[in-house]
Structure 1
């Protein structure tokens, strides 16, 4: 999933409607509910940009330099290449992780669905903190720029803090420290889903004029290899913004509510392995091309598409409009990451994926909704999606979907 430190979320004049704007610390999220009171600061001060002990700072810098030294050859091999290709970047990070993990500390990549190696040490630290036991743990993150981030989490029996240090490469392939900071953690939880959710102390209005997001979710306990594969291959392309494949209820007998004009670019990317691009904000897609892409992945007919999607009969084209401020109001939920947590194979040949929407933007909730996506593998090996069902009335907890072209209603 997306990992970050402090993210500046710019207010662009639109109301951000979303799931609850606080960390969920109920009994379903925290393994040891009786210690919930210990994960919230009673009298929080500013808690950020705290002074760092010189010995601790020196230790962090030395650790980073040592790690950079042992991954230098890997970075030199990939230098510049990984910036243009995501797969290459992941290959580089995985090789870096293999080296870094040998020191016994937890290490993770900055890519979505990255596996935390040596996660047991991180999990033990969090479980001990739930029991009010003092301790610390160091987590390394291999980044797509070839650098690393070192995060040292400490718990003193009452409060948790994190010291973060980021080191990158100079043009001469020398390690350079870009920042080091110490912040208190306002709230935190280790959830039953294996995620470390927390909110850093950050500047708040009126001290700042922009919203500073200090929330973060780190997957500690890895998903199974099967779940990671299905997450990356079959659901990560769609997410929860710009289309409603995963955030609406539909099935093979009730498909007219899907936003086909919005879905086109995502299915195009799946089919051709590259993002759909257009020179203009609004373009017409020839009917044959549009229908071929959509019908590869959904059990709909040409006649149904021309009835349910925005189609211009005179030009024989379907309309596509770029996602932007004019047709999309940003929401925290829209930034959620779909995470497959279970794969079930049915006797009729269909595959049902249980998916959690994981939102680490402001709300810090690793199960905003749970839904089941049903798909079927065709004879030619392609996938057809045949239904999505949001469980436990979860659709009532997310923003109403905004159709790409604005003239369709849920």
Structure 2
């Protein structure tokens, strides 16, 4: 299934893309739709009992997936779809990768549309984001009215993300088994910019498709697709490659072969063109891995520079992007041939043109013994007179390119992602860089299975991240890397193989050349591989960021070289280091805990200490008990304590917090009375509320870490807490004893605090 909307261009180079899934400013048509009025849509936005009933049917499945870190996986989506089907709903997934459950309901409704008799239909589309779309259709006299509501899980709660209504201007159930419809609805922001309504195109597969066809599609067609390449748009075979564009194939195959994004990127200046000279072995390995072609033929069909044994390469620029909304392939049939090849019959589904068969092509692939494969040929077989792929933009000819781009930017011959690294500035030699990059990808391959079915989404900063990457998944990645012999760590997890880091530090102190790599697993699934090298009296780090593509394929998306100013391995076991040039918006120091910490201490830290501040209020930097607890009360501390209690960020109303909420939180977590809270925290009797005082973040604050504890006879727990302040090279800046009283309902109360100076002065807080 796919949402498609009109794309408009303003002036030169300004493109506005508005998604049909977006929550519009005003739901529905400007005129009432037959069967569903605008007021009905507004009512449904607030009366979503039916949707909550649907959500309850697979709530357990979703929550288990959250815990297991499998949200967005194909199996999780399949379980949800099948669960809804068992309760009588017509249900399908948003990527059309699972056969619809109860398709007869949709077919019966389509029959009612053809026969112009009244009918209703509810269709549920389960999304990989953990929510679903609910379509309510109503037909009379052959017209179809549509209400689409979007529901998403936010912090474990189902929320209505918006609703739209429209009349289906186009409605058809195709021979290929697809339901296609089109309609327009009003959006205030869209209308203000374009003076028109949003046009939405929908394509939902209703008829079942053999699972083998789906697997073949995912394995052979979707990795290439129709975007910015003509591999499946022209006729070619291994005897005549026709109009096949090998530069586009290089763009498609390079990430599959080298497990990282193509590093040869367009110029930031839209009016300038970038030109690279790519080493012959790099270019030929990428293309030759998936296309059987002689080097001499490949060099004839490209610009090959024999003097330097390189290929001239111009990345696609702004004016070669093509149309945004394009078809997508679906393998409709297949045939295993006697020579071991497989012929795939592929239909191009194009919601924008309201067709499930814009064109058909037969693609032959050759499976290889080692699990790899090659594309053998492609032939367009429908329409008989050919298909005009108007949405595809071919690369500019050299003359067009020179005319379009005002300036050329020639780039030096490069290896992989290292073109920005100065040979003089990096301590690593060229062959060391190459080996290190390969070793990093090999290490990432050890954990690829965990990412195989993960929900991957694009991210502006990281390139690709993993949606709902669970704590259990993160811990397993750290464990598997450790079992493979690598130094690995994550926040809240003991470092694996820390002795390698200690050996590096010892060699550094003795001024002996040494190198070590630490794999840091992030909460978004990204793995940061940080390699430290000490050589000739200099200390550097080489940071490689590993992101993930669909199917658990790792790729290096960025590489950074940094000069290290200093490193320190503390007696307690913290590895702390700082750069000569501090990265923008970075802390003064970076750090890992190399020495292990007991699971119980980590649990107590997470439950009682994590999230409290040592610099915004004085509750944990002064000595107090029940006799003087009112002295620590400050309005700004409520925000942190509220988050500890609820797991949510406070949402004040008009800058005020209801007294009932405020006083419950403060009297639960501290030994104070309501009267004391009202006196110290600015109670407003007229509104029965408290003013919201925002906490402003401070640079380089310390954090607390429980290093020991005592269970007291009265049921309280005394926590021995070290103040860790990496930005000042200290893992014991101060020490404190915090006594807490656990409650049966999961809440607790801070009973007292006693703090002593350690390696640094105790922070002071002004009231």
Q: 1:275 to 1:113 in 2, by over 3 A?
A: farther
Cα separation, 1, equivalents of 2:131 and 2:98: 16
Distance 1:203-1:315 versus aligned 2 partners, 3 A rule: farther
Give the alignment partner of residue 131 of structure 2, picking from 123, 147, 167.
147
User: Is the alpha carbon distance of 1:253 and 1:279 closer, same or farther for their aligned partners in structure 2, counting shifts above 3 Å?
Assistant: closer
Offset at residue 167 of structure 1 (A): 1.3
CA distance 1:115–1:149, change in 2 (3 Å): same
The Cα shift of 1:122 comes to 1.2
CA distance in 2, matches of 1:215, 1:50: 21
So what's the TM-score if we normalise by structure 1? 0.79
Alignment of 1:114-125 (within 5 A): 114-125=98-109
Spell out the pairing of 1:155-170 with structure 2 (5 A cutoff): 155-170=139-154
Q: Aligned equivalents of 1:14 and 1:226: distance in 2?
A: 46
CA offsets 1:11-45 (integer angstroms, 9 cap, x no match): 36699xxxxxxxxxxxxxxxxxxxxxxxxxxxx98
Aligned to 2:9: 11
Report the CA distance shift for 1:256/1:193 in structure 2 as closer, same or farther (over 3 A).
closer
Aligned match of 2:182 in 187, 195, 199? 199
Give the aligned partner of residue 358 of structure 1: 349
1:288 aligns with 2:271: no
Could you list the runs of 5+ residues in structure 1 that have no partner in the other structure?
16-43
Tell me how far apart the structure 2 counterparts of residues 368 and 280 of structure 1 sit (CA, whole Å): 32
CA distance in 1, matches of 2:131, 2:223: 26
Verify: 1:278 aligned to 2:249, yes or no.
Answer: no
Distance 1:314 1:12, change over 3 A: farther
Residue number in structure 2 paired with 1:218: 204
- Which runs of structure 2 are paired with 1:60-71 in the superposition (5 Å)? 61-71=48-58
What residue is the counterpart of 1:263 in the other structure? Answer: 249
Q: Which residue of 1 aligns with 2:373?
A: 383
* Superposition TM-score, scaled by structure 2 size: 0.44
Contact kept in structure 1, 2:185 and 2:197, CA below 8 Å: no
Paired position in structure 2 for 1:395: 386
User: By how many angstroms is 1:190 displaced?
Assistant: 0.6
Distance 2:225 2:12 in 1: 21
Q: Which has the larger radius of gyration?
A: 2
How far off is 1:150 after superposition?
A: 0.7
Match of 1:369 among 346, 354, 359: 359
Which residue of the partner structure matches residue 310 of structure 1? 303
Q: Distance in 1 between matches of 2:351 and 2:236?
A: 26
1:295-350 deviations in whole A, cap 9, x for unaligned? 12112012211221233334433344544423233265xx1001111102223333
Q: 1:255 to 1:116 in 2, by over 3 A?
A: same
Secondary structure of the residue aligned to 1:151 is strand
Q: Kindly state the Cα deviation for residue 162 of structure 1 after the two structures are TM-superposed.
A: 1.2
Could you tell me which residue of structure 2 aligns to residue 19 of structure 1? none
More strand per residue: 1 or 2? 2
Moved more, 214-223 or 52-61: 52-61
Q: Deviations over 1:98-142 (max 9, x none)?
A: 322221111111124342122122122212322223211111111
Whether contact under 8 Å (1:262, 1:320) holds in the other structure is no
The one of 55, 70, 74 equivalent to 1:90 is: 74
The answer to which of 383-392 and 45-54 deviates more is: 45-54
1:369: how far off?
1.0
What is the CA–CA distance in structure 1 between the aligned matches of 2:366 and 2:10, rounded to whole Å?
41
In the TM superposition, what is the alpha-carbon distance from 1:46 to its structure 2 partner?
Answer: 4.7
Q: Deviations over 1:205-235 (max 9, x none)?
A: 9873467332211111122112111111111
Judged with a 3 Å threshold, the aligned counterparts in structure 2 of structure 1 residues 8 and 327 are, in CA distance, closer, same or farther, namely closer
In 2: Cα distance, 1:211 partner to 1:398 partner? 26
| Alpha-carbon contact 2:247-2:313 (below 8 Å) kept | yes
Q: Name the CA distance, whole Å, in 2 between partners of 1:211 and 1:309.
A: 45
RMSD over equivalenced CA pairs, Å: 3.3
1:347 aligns with 2:338: yes
Query: What are the Cα deviations for residues 21-73 of structure 1, in whole angstroms up to 9, with x where unaligned?
Result: xxxxxxxxxxxxxxxxxxxxxxx985669424389738971121122234334
- 2:68 is the alignment partner of 1:75: no
* Contiguous gaps of at least 5 residues in structure 2: 14-28, 267-273, 401-767
Asked whether 1:53 is paired with 2:37, we answer no
Q: Deviations over 1:208-266 (max 9, x none)?
A: 34673322111111221121111111111222221111001111111152111111132
Per the alignment, do residues 61 and 312 of structure 1 end up closer, same or farther by CA in structure 2, a change over 3 Å counting? farther
Give the superposition deviation at 1:357: 1.0
In the alignment, is the contact (CA less than 8 A) between 2:234 and 2:242 conserved in 1?
no
Contact 1:14 1:330 in 2 (8 A): no
- Pick closer, same or farther for the CA change 1:50–1:133 going to 2, 3 Å: closer
**In the TM superposition, what are the counterparts of 1:229-240 in structure 2 within 5 Å?**
229-240=215-226
- Structure 1 CA distance for aligned equivalents of residues 289 and 247 of structure 2: 15
Cα shift at 1:360: 0.9
Distance 1:13 1:312, change over 3 A: farther
Q: Does 1:250 align with 2:236?
A: yes
Structure number with higher relative contact order (C-alpha < 8 Å, ≥ 6 residues apart): 1
* DSSP 3-state at the match of 1:122: helix
Q: Retained in 2: the 8 A contact 1:164–1:182?
A: yes
Change (3 A) 1:12 1:311: farther
- Report the secondary structure of 1:250's partner residue: coil
Separation in 2, partners of 1:293, 1:379: 19
